[in-house]
Amino acid sequence: MSKILMKGNEAIGAAAIQAGCRYFFGYPITPQSELPEYMARELPKVGGVYLQAESEVAAINMVYGAAGSGARVMTSSSSPGMSLKQEGISYIAGAELPCLIVNIMRGGPGLGSIQPSQTDYFQATRGGGNGDYRLVVYAPSDVQEMVDLIIEGFDVADQYRNPVMIAGDGMIGQMMEPVEFKTPVRRELAEKDWATTGTNGERERNIINSLYINPEDLEQHNIRLQAKYDLIKQNEVKVESYNIEDAELVIAAYGTTARIAKTAIAKLEEEGYKIGLIRPITLWPYPYDEFKKINPNCKAVLTAEMNTGQMIDDVKIAVEGKYPVHFYGRTGGMSPTPEEFIENIKKILGGEK
Amino acid sequence: MLEDKRIRVIIGHYGSGKSEFSVNYAVRLAEMGRKVALADLDVVNMYFRSREKAKELEGLGIKVIGSQVNTPAIEVPSISAEVYAPLQDSSYDLILDVGGDQVGARALGRYVDYFVDGKYDMFFILNANRAETQTVDKVLEYMKKIEDVSRAKVTGLVNNTHLLKATTVEDILRGQKLALEVEEKTGIELKYVSALESIIPELPSDLKGEILPIKLFLRDEWML
C-alpha cells in the first residue's frame, strides 16, 4: 500500500485496528480527541466496540475487564486524563493483563494547557499508580514510527501480559504526516489460557485479581513480576543513536524534541561541530547501555525535553558521572526551536568555532 | 484569482490543507494590491490554525481575524464579531478559512445571510492522499455533508493533493484525475491546483485550473 497522509491521532486508531484491537474505551480530551472520534467511526465497521465511558476512571476499568477476558483492547487520553487512569493501570499491571494505553501529552501540572509537552515522563516511567510495577513505554518521534510501535506494542503487551504505553506529545497527535501500513511482522504468541472466557464446566475457573490477602503470596507475586520486568529489560530496549562515537557533545532527547534536535545537529555540522544523538524509543526499559558507547572525549551530554527536566535523571544514571549533564527544555506547551538548541550547544562548548 | 467572488469560503475534509491554501491565497491577493481579510473560523482543531501566523500575515497587510479571546490555544468555540466587518465592507476581499468536515462548517451557519448566489465562492479543498477522500463517492459525501450544514454551495474545486514536503508530480496528477472526475459528475469547476513552489516547474503545462504556488507557512522547518 502506498503512503497516505494521516493525522497522528487518526493513524493511532488505524494502526490499532490493523493490530487486531476491537475494543476502545475512552473519554475525549484535547489534543487526542480525533482518536476516539476515529474509533467511534471505524470500530463498528470491523465488528468492534467503541464506548465513551462516563470518565477516564471508568474507561480504564472497562479496559481492565476486557483485557481480563482476553480481548485486544486500548484506551487513550492526554495528561490530566491519564492521571485519572493511574489507579486502574496499577490494577491492570498487578493482575498482569495486556492492553495498550496512549498518552498524547499536554502541558501540566493540573489542567495545564492543550499544547504539546513531555511532562508525564515521570508518571509513565516511575509509576503514577501504587506498587512496584512497570509499563513498557514507547516514545515515537514521527507518525510512521508511532504506527509501527502500536502494532508491535499490542504483541509486546500480550507476550509479557503487561500494559504498554505510547507516550506521544500533542504535536505528534495533531501533526499530519505520510504513513504507510506495511504488513507487520507478528510475534509468536501463546494462547490466552488465563482469560476469563467461561469454563463451560470443563476447566477450573480463571481468576483475574490484584488482591493478595497473604503477604507471603504477594511477595512471591512481586518477585515474579520483577523477573518479568528483568526479561523485558533484556529483550525490549529500543534506541536510535547518531554519531555518538566521535561526538564532542551528545544530545539525549525523545519524541518530537529529538526531531527538532536532529535539525539543529545538521545545521551545526555545517559549521564544523560534531554533535551526536541518543534517542530512547523505549523510555522504559531505558537504553542505559547506549550511553557507554559515547566518545570518551565527549565534552558534555545535553538532555532536552518539553518539560523542566525529567529524563535527565535517567541520563545521569546512564552516564555514571563520566560527562557533565546539561539540560535544555521548554514547558507549558511551548516547543523548542533548532536555533535554541544551537545557541545552548555553542554556550556549552564555549562559543563559536 | 481576481475574478473570484469577493467572499471566498474555504472548506474540505480536515487535514486536506485548507489553512495553507487560505494563507497562500490571501498572501497572493495582498501581493496583487487587494485589501485582504483572512478569518480563521476553525473551532474544531486547536493546532496548525492560520491565526498562529497572524503576525506574519499582518506584516503583509492582511487583516487576520480569529477568536475574540486573544490566545492561540484557547479551547472555546468563539469567533470574533469582527468577521462581520469584512463581510459587510465591500472594499475587503475576504477569505473564510473554515474548520474541517461538516463539524467545522457549522461555524458558517451564522453568516448564511451573506452567502447570496453570485456573491460568494466556496472552494472545496481536495487532497487525494487523505484516506477519507480518495474516491469520487467519498468526496461527494464530504461535499454534501458540508453543503448541508453550511447552507451554501460549492462553486469550485481545488486539487491540493500533497504529501507535505515529500509531494511528487504523481501525487498531484492522481489528485487532478480525481478532481476532474468530481467535476464531471457535479459540474463544479476545477479552479485551482495548489502545489509547493519547488514542484511547479515539473508540472505539465496543460493542467486544468490556475496554479497556486504554496509556501508552507504552518509547518516548522523540522517537520516532514
Interchain contact, A177 vs B222, CB within 8 Å: no
In a domain, B178, yes or no: yes
Which of A3, A4, A5 is best to mutate for the B interface (most B CBs within 10 A)?
A5
Residues 75 through 114 of chain B touching chain A, CB cutoff 8 Å: 75
In a domain, B132, yes or no: yes
ipTM: 0.88
Which three cell numbers, joined as nine digits, stand for A304?
Answer: 532536552
Please tell me the predicted confidence (pLDDT) of residue B68. Answer: 77
Which residues of A sit within 8 Å Cβ distance of B?
3-7, 10, 14, 30-31, 113-115, 142, 170-171, 174-178, 259-260, 262-263, 333, 337-338
The domain of B101 spans 7-214
Among B46, B166, B221, whose Cβ lies nearest the Cβ of A114? Answer: B46
Please tell me the predicted confidence (pLDDT) of residue A339. Answer: 97
In a domain, B29, yes or no: yes
Structural domains in chain B (count): 1
Question: Tell me: the pLDDT tens digits for B125-150?
Answer: 999 999 899 999 999 999 999 999 99
In a domain, B56, yes or no: yes
In a domain, B46, yes or no: yes
In chain B, residues with a C-beta closer than 8 Å to the C-beta of A260 are 220, 222
**Which structural domains are found in chain A, ordered by start?**
4-235 (3.40.50.970), 240-349 (3.40.50.920)
Band the pLDDT of A353: cuts 50, 70, 90. low
For the cut 90, the answer to whether the pLDDT of residue B76 exceeds it is: no
CATH number at residue B147: 3.40.50.300
Question: Tell me: the pLDDT tens digits for A103-160?
Answer: 999 999 999 999 999 999 999 999 899 999 999 999 999 999 999 999 999 999 999 9
Q: Alpha-carbon distance A250 to A262, whole Å?
A: 11
Chain A and chain B share a number of CB contacts under 8 A equal to 64
**Dihedral-angle region of residue B12 (phi above 0 means left; psi in -120 to 50 means alpha; beta otherwise):** left
In a domain, B79, yes or no: yes
Please tell me the predicted confidence (pLDDT) of residue A352. Answer: 61
* Average pLDDT along chain B: 94
In chain A, residues with a C-beta closer than 8 Å to the C-beta of B129 are 3-5, 178
Q: Average of pLDDT values for A17-28?
A: 97
For the cut 60, the answer to whether the pLDDT of residue A1 exceeds it is: no
In a domain, B224, yes or no: no
SS3 A329: strand
In a domain, B2, yes or no: no
What H or E segment, with its residue span, contains residue B175? helix B169-186
Question: Tell me: the pLDDT tens digits for A212-248?
Answer: 999 999 999 999 999 999 999 999 999 999 999 999 9
DSSP line for A74-143: EEEE-HHHHHHTHHHHHHHHHTT--EEEEEEEBS-STT--SSB--TTHHHHHHTSSSSS---EEE--SSH
